[in-house]
Amino acid sequence: MKPTTDTWFDERDQWREGALELRTIMLDCGLGEALKWRKPCYTFDDDNIAIIQPMNDFLALMFFKGALLDDPDSVLQSQGKNTRSARRLCFTSVEQVLDAEETLRALVREAIRVARAGLEVPKKPLVLVDELQHRLDADPALAAAFDALTPGRQRGYNIYISGAKQSETRERRIDQCEPKILAGKGLRDR
């Protein structure tokens, strides 16, 4: 049986009340709701607008194109150094969610405006770490498989491999990833 968003909320122990408040706000803004990436995702037409992310220390509402949103109160935060477009708000209590309701509604309106306008975060060309580029140059089958991956999967492999400090470790990571690349899978795919 395929899980539903209702099931997802029912199974929450931590952050349940805050997540339910976020859900109410998102649905009240006229967004659709679906379970994507095993989390409640909110959409406008076919565009992903926001997703609820329960973490150990906080509950987040991530806007997929947050970097394009007008954020006059500077409440949106980047998720990390490799994040290009997503931005999120983090909450540690239900009260914080309730206090942010008007800001959340304004951000949803802005996200819908961005979606309607068809705006996209400009993509930077992917510059592969040297070891990966050399391996792809030397192995046409691996290069073809890598080229067939989605840009996000290519970027994921490059970030993982380039994260190693030593060249030997980067080479070892390429060796470990090669079977998944040849199988057309992303780094975190099963």
- Per-residue DSSP letter, 41: E
Classify residue 122 by its DSSP letter: P
Best CA proximity match to 84, nearest among 38, 124, 57: 124
CA separation, residue 29 to residues 71, 92, 181 (Å): 18, 23, 40
Instruction: For the chain, give every domain's residue range.
Output: 5-117, 130-182
User: Do residues 14 and 54 lie in contact, with contact meaning Cβ atoms separated by under 8 Å?
Assistant: yes
Which residues have CB under 8 Å from 166's CB, separation 6+? none
pLDDT for position 33: 97
Q: How many Å apart are CA 120 and CA 139, to the nearest integer?
A: 34
* SS3 track for 153-168: HHHHHHHHHHCCCCHH
Beta partners for residue 91, in sequence order: 59
The tens digit of pLDDT for each residue in 155-190 reads 999 999 999 999 999 999 999 999 999 999 999 998
User: How much is the pLDDT for 124?
Assistant: 83
Report in angstroms the alpha-carbon separations of 165 from 63, 80, 98, 128.
32, 19, 43, 15
Average pLDDT over residues 62-88: 93
What class, spelled out in words, does domain 5-117 have in CATH?
alpha beta
Burial class (CB in 10 A: 0-12, 13-18, 19+), 27: middle
Structure-token pair, residue 171? 């080479």
- pLDDT tens column, 19-60: 999 999 999 999 999 999 999 999 999 999 999 999 999 999
How far is residue 103 from each of residues 18, 73, 110, measured CA to CA in Å?
15, 8, 10
Query: By CB neighbour count within 10 A (0-12 exposed, 13-18 middle, 19+ buried), where does 41 fall?
Result: buried
Name the helix (H) or strand (E) containing 128. Answer: none
Is residue 1 scored above 70 in pLDDT? no
